[in-house]
Amino acid sequence: MLDLILEKGTIIDGSGRSRYAADVGIDSNEIVEIGDLFEVEAYQRINCTGLVICPGFLDMHSHSELMLLKKPSASPKIRQGITTELLGQDGISVAPVSEKTIPQWKVQLAGILGDGGVEWTWRSIDDYLNRLNRRTAVNVAMLVPHGNLRAEAMGMENREPTDQELATMVRLLEESLQQGAFGLSTGLVYPPCCYAKTPELIKLCEVVARHEGIFVVHLRSEFDFIVEAVKEILEVGMATQVPIHFSHMKVAGPANRPKLGEVLRLINAHIDKGMDITCDQYPYTAGSTTLGAVLPPWVYEGGVQKAIERLKDPKSRAEIRASIDQKGPSPWDNLIQAVGFENIFISDISSEKNKNLIGKNLITAAQMLEKDPYDFIFDLLVEENLGVSMIVFSIHEEDITTIMKLPYQMVGTDGLLGGKPHPRAYGTYPRILGRYCREKEVLTLEEAIRKMTYLPAKRLGLKHEGLIEEGMRANITVFNPETVIDRATYEDPVQYPRGIEYVIVNGTLVVDEGEQREVLPGRAFRKGSV
């Protein structure tokens, strides 16, 4: 007697092979039979006529660390068919931490993770994964954030580490990888990661390579110096043989569009030489991050309280303004110069006082308060203790499809979940299935599902994920290929998609006929034990 049979559906198994008709039998948390199961007994049968049965989607770039603790139902993700999230992105996350660094991270991460109203009871990645295990609707996996290693070893100082400080980073990295992290992430536009030089990255990636992990990278520049930024990471890969994964692959800013060809030529040439390279992408023309990212990196030297002091000081404000106003190619990702105030929108704010600014671009919001845009930004960041998120329109639609068709491209939401979030948090995967597969025919369903399932599972070394095969873990998404589509928009982003009919996590039915059940079967995956 099986627990569940999905019958009369069309299987797209995640491998890229052509679809076929069959039933899927599930017992406990495992796929145990595939074929004609008409005569097999089961406690529950679901008629999947007209529906596609595929592996559950794996979000290769997630920022749900605090939201999963506050709202473990993970509805924005599970309702779009995601069954596993990869946390610890961009080199800045919630572990490892200490009593000394928790206050810093609570402030710095507020514009990305929200404050969550969560008590930080963990210190190590092991502690954090234990906090989540079997307490969320989705499975989770974790990367070691480079910035956290640096903060523990040397705070927020803008300099090269001493031998002892580098040894501390290496020790923490080793411990975190042994606790089950899948690799190292860095965000080379975010303090303190941005203060690191290439030799530091090479030293850390030697450790990652030895543990057979991956190096996940938010480049030092996605704008004016993206070619140079890609070359830096390829240098790290060549020196260490660590597998490279580029986060949210893009060339941002209208002036930089011609550089995409050179970026892809560089990457493809290194793949041809044997380097192991992949990337992820969200299918939208706007990105999203903390509003504090519009500031030059030197503002954060010494930590977030120093940054707030500089934002209060008239002399420092003038220097910040001059740095942003400087013409010509920028050595840091100068978002205001690249896209203009009018293309940056406020998406979340920590306090209730300024919630009326959410959804407004920086020009409109500044006018509402009768302020110069610079003074508006500086005042708001001070008043909200840096807890402000933004949406930035900087990507061209044609470039999205070019990257989407790369054989080594995967999918990630990069979803920030507070306030009026970027619609990618609610719609990424159905958007690809509906808009880019059914409507625009950029990808076949087989290709898209492979990029959402088997390819990322293989990248992480999840041996029991990403395929509809006997013996695989029963993480499964069932959708209607004729109706699946995202409904989240920039104007109204908190909308669940259409067409995701059933989602199964570790053998438990979480979404049933499009509605979520109150169950939390998610597990914390650890490298080497999954």
Reported as a single tens digit per residue, the pLDDT across 431-475 is: 999 999 999 999 999 999 999 999 999 999 999 999 999 999 999
pLDDT digit string (tens) for 31-43? 999 999 999 999 9
pLDDT in tens, 186-197: 999 999 999 999
* Closest C-alpha among 377, 204, 393, 221 to residue 299: 377
Q: For 64-111, how does the pLDDT look when each residue is reduced to its tens digit (9 = 90+)? A: 999 999 999 999 999 999 999 999 999 999 999 999 999 999 999 999
Whole-model pTM?
Answer: 0.97
- pLDDT attached to residue 520: 98
CATH number of this structure's domain 146-285+395-408: 3.20.20.140
Six-digit token pair at 322? 């001059």
Task: Round to whole Å and give the CA distance between 281 and 249.
Answer: 5
pLDDT band of residue 115 (cuts 50, 70, 90) is: low
What confidence score (pLDDT) does residue 116 get?
Answer: 64
pLDDT at 328: 84
Q: Which of 216, 143, 127, 200 has the alpha carbon at shortest distance from 168?
A: 200
Mean pLDDT of 198-205: 98
Q: How confident is the model at residue 244 (pLDDT cuts 50, 70, 90)?
A: very high
pLDDT band at 327 (very low <50, low <70, confident <90, very high): confident
Reported as a single tens digit per residue, the pLDDT across 391-425 is 999 999 999 999 999 999 999 999 998 889 999 99
pLDDT of residue 42: 98
Please state, rounded to an integer, the average pLDDT across all residues of the chain: 97
Q: Which residues contact 59 (CB under 8 A, 6 or more apart)?
A: 77, 82, 84, 85, 86, 411, 412, 413, 415, 428
Closest CA to 488 of 413, 395, 437: 413
Structural domain boundaries in the chain:
146-285+395-408, 292-393
Which DSSP string do the residues of 204-271 spell out, in sequence order?
A: HHHHHHHTT-EEEEE-S-SSTTHHHHHHHHHHHHHHH---EEESS----SGGGTTHHHHHHHHHHHHH
Cα 143 to Cα 61, 176, 361, distances in angstroms: 10, 9, 33
Give the percent of the chain with pLDDT over 70. 100
Identify which of 39, 41, 31 has the alpha carbon closest to the alpha carbon of residue 11: 31
Instruction: Kindly calculate the radius of gyration of the chain based on its CA atoms and give it in whole angstroms.
Output: 22
Residue 117 has pLDDT above 90, yes or no: no
Name the β-bridge partners of 508: 505
Query: Phi, psi (5° rounding) for residue 309?
Result: -60, -40
Rounded Cα distance between 138 and 59, Å, is 10
Q: Given this model, what pLDDT does residue 189 score?
A: 97
Burial of 162 (0-12, 13-18, 19+ CB in 10 A): exposed
Whether 53 shows a pLDDT value over 80: the answer reads yes
User: pLDDT tens digits, residue range 144-165?
Assistant: 999 999 999 999 999 999 999 9
